Chain A
Amino acid sequence: MGTTHPHPRVAEARRRAMGSDAHLVVVTHSDGRDGRDLLAAGWGRIDQLEARWSRFRADSEVSALNRHAGLRVRVSHDTVVLVQHAVAAWELTAGRFDPTVGAALVGHGYDRDFDELLARDGGARPPLSSPPPAPVPGPAGIEVDPWSDEVTLPVGVTFDPGGIGKGLAADLVASALVDAGAAGALVNLGGDLRAIGTPLGAAGWTIGVPDPLRSHHELARIALAEGAVATTSRLRRRWPTAHGQAHHLIDPATGEPAETDVVAVTVIADQAWRADAFAKLLFFAGPTELARHRDFHAVLVTADGGHHATPALEGALR
């Protein structure tokens, strides 16, 4: 059976999804499926996952879980997988990523889609009273029954998948695009991106990492054959409160927006949900964690402009 595909074709599209700028790229062969059809299928799948996982939609499955904490709730298998991965990320990071920061985020004012949050009251300070510092409850006690697709949250737990949701969505959609006939695919959901299959360039998928402290500058540029990249920063998703600026990276140990010298972290790993989890680990634990791991590459930026990078990324810093 011949396997030559002389004319790879590319289809790509950008739009907003999951509260972020999203970018899909599909590589197809001239004798394969139409890339535009695959893009449409990819957007459809992203919309489906957002509808199931958004904590800002009252009719989402995650909202149903949070409304009915203490009860068994039947959800789609996608949501069972999400909860499993969120708990696995908590284990993977020794609790630095925690999917139960939802109540703390709401308490600090992040109670709606971020675009709506900034637009609220014309940008005036919302009249919020931040909750007193306290550890978040943690996912111990979450019950997952994959036989019946039922999940039970303990009373008092508010589930928030955070960046793990976008990372896992990128993983699922990229894999689905290849399963559907794409030779290669890249799915970028607000900086959580997954590249799989035949890349666009001979050297791989070329990914830029913006410098968090200098607009219009890149911190690094890499070629990635296959894998995932995730970036997290406390300079994004910030909002005014009655007690000053808050940001979305809640320290599970205090339930407060983390106070750390680390400004931003970018991680390259095999899968996007893991890259996002490791980014949270490094953000909260700091650069000392870099030397302890062999399953990701990473670069951290501190408030003074300093960089800490794993060896493979040192050469890519610009």
Chain B
Amino acid sequence: MMTEPRGRVSRAPGRAGRRRHPAAAGRVLAAGLSAGTAVVLVGILGGASSARQSGGVERPPAVVVHGDAGDRGISSGQPAPAVTPSDAPPLTTSQAS
């Protein structure tokens, strides 16, 4: 079970439902490579050109967070889980962080 946030950002497709264009993977991977170096997980990509696929397929735009959270109010989500008082020895503690 994956967690998915509510809100507009969560409308972005998850990995399972994502259709990655084959050309994209190759291009992005290539962008992370430079001559004589190993593949790096984190690579800095180019600018606006990386937002468009080759082969006439245009990707949807990246999700950009706009505005002010205060404009949207506090959304409700899943119901709170059932809890009951207990006298059993605690298995673990929710110590403060």
Q: Residues on A close to B: CB < 8 A?
A: 20-21, 23, 25, 61, 64, 68, 71-77, 84-85, 87-95, 138-148, 150, 152, 163, 166, 168, 171-172, 175, 178-179, 186, 188, 190-193, 196, 200-201, 203-210, 212, 218, 220-233, 235-237, 264, 266, 268-271, 273-274, 281, 292-297, 312-313, 315-316
Known: A61-B41, A206-B88. Contact between A144 and B12, CB under 8 A?
yes
Residues of A within 8 A of B44 (CB): 68, 71-74
A139 to B10, CA, bound (A): 15
Option from B20, B85, B86, B97 in Cβ contact (under 8 Å) with A20: B97
Contacts across chains A and B counted by CB atoms under 8 Å? 267
Residues of B within 8 A of A148 (CB): 20, 24, 28, 45, 50, 59
Q: Are B65 and A141 in contact (CB under 8 A)?
A: yes
Indicate the size class of the contact surface on chain B.
35 or more
| Consensus secondary structure, chain A interface | mixed
Within 83-97 of B, Cβ neighbours of A (below 8 Å) are at 83-97
Given contacts A75-B41, A236-B96, 20 further A-B contacts (CB under 8 A): A25-B92, A73-B42, A74-B42, A85-B3, A92-B5, A138-B68, A145-B51, A146-B14, A150-B62, A166-B97, A201-B91, A204-B86, A206-B91, A224-B81, A231-B94, A231-B97, A233-B97, A235-B96, A273-B3, A294-B80
Known: A143-B62, A143-B64, A146-B14. Contact between A221 and B2, CB under 8 A?
no
Residues of A within 8 A of B97 (CB): 20, 163, 166, 190-192, 231-233, 236-237
Shortest distance from the beta carbon of B67 to any chain A beta carbon, whole Å: 6
A166 to B95, CA, bound (A): 13
Q: Are B91 and A200 in contact (CB under 8 A)?
A: yes
A32 to B30, CA, bound (A): 43
Known: A192-B97, A295-B79, A313-B83. Contact between A206 and B90, CB under 8 A?
yes
Shortest distance from the beta carbon of A294 to any chain B beta carbon, whole Å: 7
A145 to B60, CA, bound (A): 9
A175 to B2, CA, bound (A): 7
Known: A72-B47, A222-B86. Contact between A92 and B96, CB under 8 A?
no
Q: Are B77 and A142 in contact (CB under 8 A)?
A: no
The closest CB in chain A to the CB of B31 belongs to: A74
Known: A92-B6, A270-B79, A292-B74. Contact between A207 and B43, CB under 8 A?
no
